Structure 1
Amino acid sequence: MTNEERRDSLADQAAAWIPPWQRTAPESNAPGPATPDPVESARAEPDPAAPETAEPGAAPDPGAEVPRQGPPVTTIAEEGAGRRPRGGGRARVVPEPPPVLDDAELRGALEAILLVVDEPVSELTLAQVLEQPAERVGPMLDQIAASYTTAGHGFELRRAAGGWRLYTRPEYATYVERFVLDGQSVRLTQAALETLAVVAYRQPVTRSRISAIRGVNCDGVIRTLVTRGLIEECGTESDSGAYLYRTSTMFLEKLGLNSLDDLPPLAPFLPDDVEELADAAR
């Protein structure tokens, strides 16, 4: 058979081919169910393992489980490696903990700060500035104060007015006074000292009460003490509306006291006949 005859034979077969779904059963066979075509069966029968798909426009089944879609999650490894989060999510920035200072560096930093402060500074403030635990700052300050005392320096570190500050030692006060004052007297008068003592031991106290205790008018002295920052107003009396006065933080700082509880008791300084004097005044 030549090539042309083979092509004509294949063309005739292709033209005479009938699809399976258009074929009819032979008349000699008894009527019965038609044999399903395997291709059509595969198209018509659903796969039991495949998920059911709702028809277009049908309402969703309330009991059906819907897969959740959340924002992209960035893993800790990706954050640590500095990678960009997947899907454009925002990475959580974790701040690095502050470095822990060794004892020598912590001591040097505390000494440097204490040299420039103009008022007592608390342990909490020092801990916040240095970003160190307050449990380390307090013992280190005690250690510094003890070392200054042991070494015999001309200054010391001590508590005053709720904080810490460097002070010159009392045994060198005459030399410091000679350098600072330079022949000028800046001491308080006897009237100012008496008024300041009354405020310190009877605070809060009104101006009229101070004058009654001292037996003289104290308005000018009180203004002087307020101007110098040794006393301050702290409200008014509920009955009379008069201003109340108390000692200030500078008062504690100048006297080197940590609180008013450190004031010396008055009993040793009172006269022996104080009760007789009180009865006579009545």
Structure 2
Amino acid sequence: MSTDEDGRAAGVAGLGLRPALEAVLMVVDEPATEEHLARILQRPRGAVADALRELADEYTLQRRGFDLRLVAGGWRFYTRPAYADAVEAYVLDGRHARLTQAALETLAVVAYRQPVSRSRVSAVRGVNCDGVMRTLLQRGLVEEAGAEPETGAILYRTTNYFLERMGLRGLDELPELAPFLPEADAIEAETPEGVPSFDPDAPDTPETHADDKTEF
């Protein structure tokens, strides 16, 4: 280790643990694991875990506008649900929502039926979902999950980024909604499956999402 690295390591080790955690968590792009935080701050994992939970409890007790949550295996700051109206007013001020109702409905079908093929998602929604699925793929909310053995259809599932954005530790924390979704097998049209009928990187065209042309 170089002299500069030695000096930096000594500086990190000498920092207060809780403020150091706050500083790091302010700049993370995804939830940070306790192991990673312990390594970069040169502290025992147990001490880091205790400090994180103390900070989370403190923010709740103080009724701060944000909280610290354990999500998708790591820790990250999130706005507190009680202040959702304020955040929504800021985000939607002069803009369109990032995901439309169509995209949210499609994402919900994937979340509750995964792994699921594109045509089965379309069967549940009752409209062609090619354009919306492309949007969800491009935004990293869903990903390919292999192929269906019987038909060769490409299957899709939600990603860790989906869990992060939804504030969930895992899919078992999804609300009880699946019983209200119709079984795709019972209503699916007899359409060929296999290779997707769209290129995820291709620009949108009216033909690829005629039924969803105003939905995203």
Pairwise same-fold verdict (TM > 0.5) = yes
Q: Secondary structure, in 3 states, of the residue corresponding to 1:232?
A: strand
Q: Match for residue 146 of structure 1?
A: 57
1:199-251 per-position Cα deviation (integer Å, ceiling 9, x unaligned):
00111111122122223221111111112221111222223222111111221
Identity of aligned residues (%): 59
How many residues of Structure 1 are paired with residues of Structure 2 in the alignment?
Answer: 178
Q: Match for residue 200 of structure 2?
A: none
1:3-58 per-position Cα deviation (integer Å, ceiling 9, x unaligned):
xxxxxxxxxxxxxxxxxxxxxxxxxxxxxxxxxxxxxxxxxxxxxxxxxxxxxxxx
**Regions of 4+ moved over 3 Å:** 98-102
Letter aligned with residue 153 of structure 1? R
Q: Match for residue 91 of structure 2?
A: 180
Q: Match for residue 211 of structure 1?
A: 122
Q: Match for residue 118 of structure 1?
A: 29
1:227 alignment partner, one of 132, 138, 144: 138
1:192 alignment partner, one of 87, 103, 107: 103
Q: Is the 8 A contact 2:13 2:42 kept in 1?
A: no
> Under a length normalisation based on structure 2, what TM-score does the superposition of the two structures give?
0.73
Q: Secondary structure, in 3 states, of the residue corresponding to 1:152?
A: coil
Q: Secondary structure, in 3 states, of the residue corresponding to 1:158?
A: strand
Shift of 1:196: 0.8
1:47-99 per-position Cα deviation (integer Å, ceiling 9, x unaligned):
xxxxxxxxxxxxxxxxxxxxxxxxxxxxxxxxxxxxxxxxxxxxxxxx9xx87
Structure 1 gap segments, 5+ residues each: 1-94
- Aligned mates of 1:263, 1:202 — CA distance in 2: 12
> Under a length normalisation based on structure 1, what TM-score does the superposition of the two structures give?
0.57
| Cα 1:174/1:159, change in 2 over 3 Å | same
Shift of 1:134: 1.0
Q: Which structure ranks higher in relative contact order (CA pairs < 8 Å, sequence separation ≥ 6)?
A: 2
Asked if residue 253 in structure 1 is aligned to residue 155 in structure 2, the reply is no
Q: CA RMSD in A?
A: 2.7
Letter aligned with residue 181 of structure 1? L
- Aligned mates of 2:164, 2:158 — CA distance in 1: 11
Q: Secondary structure, in 3 states, of the residue corresponding to 1:116?
A: coil
Structure 2 gap segments, 5+ residues each: 1-5, 188-216
Q: Match for residue 137 of structure 1?
A: 48
Letter aligned with residue 238 of structure 1? P
Q: Match for residue 262 of structure 1?
A: 173
Q: Secondary structure, in 3 states, of the residue corresponding to 1:173?
A: helix
- Aligned mates of 1:115, 1:253 — CA distance in 2: 15
Letter aligned with residue 228 of structure 1? R
